[in-house]
Amino acid sequence: MKQLFKLTGCLALAGLFASCQSAQQEANYQIIPMPQEIVTAQGSPFILKSSVKILYPEGNEKMQRNAKFLADYLKTATGKDFAIEAGTEGKNAIVLALGTENENPESYQMKVTGDGITITGPTEAGVFYGIQSLRKSLPVAVGADIAMPAVEINDVPRFGYRGAHFDTSRHFFTVDH
């Protein structure tokens, strides 16, 4: 009986070590809420390794906070430190940029190629929501590299108001709404 317990314990430990040593995991863009448009692209995936830098526009404090937020989350999810630098271009980087032509300030575009990830929004809030989509698509894989398949995501919030409120006696709407 003791030998059976030892054998079972050894097999369980072997399975645990085998699952922990997976060198690479893949991101999944099927997130909630689902982005308006997801277009898969041809090309090699971007590998999220510790050598990746997070770039933000120089002199923009809000974008610097967005970059810090992303770096902190990536440290939690992967166990790796990511450098944060001011800049707008670079290979092997996650670039946070302003500049889409969308009317909605919370819209964003995320492009993933083999060279890097670019999240662009008309405002800092749009870039923040792009970071949220990137964050949700990543698996929690401490110690593993994450493969980000090539994709282009364009998203706009479906509703102008975010949140849920069930106490209608304190949140009035006019007849028009």
Mean pLDDT of 144-163: 88
How far apart, in whole angstroms, are the C-alpha atoms of residue 117 and residue 146? Answer: 13
104: exposed, middle or buried (C-beta count within 10 Å: 0-12, 13-18, 19+)?
middle
Domain ranges of the chain: 26-158
Mean pLDDT of 38-44: 91
pLDDT of residue 4: 54
- Of 30-39, 96-105, 107-116, 165-174, the poorest mean pLDDT is in 165-174
pLDDT of residue 171: 65
pLDDT of residue 18: 47
- Of 56-65, 94-103, 144-153, 165-174, the poorest mean pLDDT is in 165-174
Fold of 26-158: Chitobiase; domain 2 (3.30.379)
- Taking a C-beta distance cutoff of 8 angstroms, is the pair 159, 136 a contact? no
Residue-averaged pLDDT of the chain: 85
pLDDT of residue 147: 93
Residue from 27, 25, 82 nearest 56 by CA: 82
For the stretch 95-124, pLDDT in tens is 999 998 888 999 999 999 999 999 999 999
Mean pLDDT of 1-13: 55
Q: How large a percentage of the chain has pLDDT more than 70?
A: 81
Q: Which amino acid is at 56?
A: Y
Question: What's the DSSP call for residue 14?
Answer: H
For the stretch 55-100, pLDDT in tens is 999 999 999 999 999 999 999 988 889 999 998 888 899 999 999 8
How far apart, in whole angstroms, are the C-alpha atoms of residue 87 and residue 19? Answer: 37
For the stretch 18-28, pLDDT in tens is 444 457 888 89
pLDDT of residue 12: 54
